[in-house]
Amino acid sequence: MKALDKLSKFLALILRHESQKFGLELDEEGFTDADDVLLIVQTRFGTHYTWADIETVVAGDKHGKKRYELRDGSIRAMYGHSLKNHTAIQYPPAVPPEYLYHGTTHTILPLIQQHGLVHQQRQYVHLTTNLDIARRVAQRHGSDTVILRIRALEAHHAGQSFFHPETEHYLTKAVSPEFIDIV
């Protein structure tokens, strides 16, 4: 069985972080030619990975999280890029469900309670409809985990913009502390 997580990490490198190093030009929405990406993958790994493997990675990881998107022969990283001088990936606004979740640690909790959730080095704050996903995310940051429940619909009615790039995830630029509860 192929290690598709290795392919996914390589796609992140070439689509999010070092596209110029690999000779890729990203358009204003972060897309680049998918055939060029396949060529780069096969230059690095030979025939170990095929187009079908890229499609499998694009479809989502073992937990269902999608990190890449295919559209009209082009591919992009869904959640933005660390490249300087690159515009943020845009999504159409969406009405969120009543509650969304965010996993973090107790260490960071005082900052969140004071300032809310902010995107920091990312382009967006990532929120999920799935409590298990929030738990997994929290555990990546340490063992003293805490799950935050975001009163997303209430925040939306107060003027907060939300975006819905895929089934179980929503994005926003920030969440004010007044809309955050500890689960």
How do the pLDDT tens digits run along the chain, 183 residues long? Answer: 578 989 999 999 999 888 889 999 988 888 899 999 999 999 999 999 999 999 999 998 777 678 899 999 999 988 765 555 555 677 889 999 999 999 999 999 999 999 999 987 777 899 999 999 899 888 887 888 999 999 999 999 999 999 998 888 899 999 999 999 998
CA distance 178 to 152: 11
Residue 14 is classified by DSSP as I
Q: Are 77 and 24 in contact, with CB atoms under 8 Å apart?
A: no
What is the pLDDT, as a whole number, of residue 27? 85
What are the C-alpha distances in Å from 63 to residues 60, 82, 83, 144, 169?
Answer: 7, 24, 27, 22, 12
Helix (H, G, I), strand (E, B) or coil at 20: helix
CA distance 68 to 7: 12
What is the pLDDT, as a whole number, of residue 146? 95
Report the sign of the C-alpha dihedral through residues 65, 67, 72, 73, in that order. negative
For 37-43, the CB contacts below 8 A with 24+ separation are 37/11, 37/75, 40/14, 41/7, 41/10, 41/11
What is the pLDDT, as a whole number, of residue 46? 92
Q: Are 50 and 81 in contact, with CB atoms under 8 Å apart?
A: no
| pTM of model > 0.75 | no
Segment (H or E) for 140: helix 131-140
N-to-C CA span, the chain: 38
Length of the chain: 183
The structure tokens 């493997």 sit at 53
Which structural domains are found in the chain, ordered by start? 4-77 (1.10.10.970), 100-182 (3.20.170.30)
